[in-house]
Amino acid sequence: MLARRFDKSEFSQKRPTSKRGFTLIEVMLAMAVFAIAGVALLGAAQSNFDNLSRLEQKTVANWVAANQLTAASLDTQTWPPRNNRKGQVEMAGATWYWQQKVVRTQDANLRQVTIEVRQQASDEQPLSELTTFLARTAK
């Protein structure tokens, strides 16, 4: 009987001594995890961007309302302040539509003045609504 001699290189080719790299399933699973995480991050980023835009609109609308209330308080020529005054103003590169509402109070020398600001004249809900009380000034 002939004894067969094993060559070292022949043996090592059949059985690798160490595993190198990732299997296809591992790579695909990792890609799926990263894809899901990426979609979630994009959704969160979009939500933050939408909130930032809305906050910017409300801030500018508040500035417009504050400016109109200041103008109404400085108008000492007209008493009582006119009800349902409307107008539009340019601010921050956009046109804003405001409306002044005046309500009588129990004191004849005091009026409640509310300014509503909308981004479109046809909007039902105002972006900002500020209220103050104006007193008749002595002449």
pLDDT in tens, the chain (139 residues): 566 665 655 555 555 556 788 899 999 999 999 999 999 999 999 998 989 999 999 999 999 999 999 999 888 788 777 888 999 999 999 999 999 999 999 998 999 999 999 999 999 999 999 999 999 887 6
Q: What is the pTM assigned to this prediction?
A: 0.69
In 3D, which of 135, 128, 4, 137 has the Cα closest to residue 66?
128
Class of domain 24-135: alpha beta
d(CA 74, CA 114): 15
d(CA 126, CA 119): 8
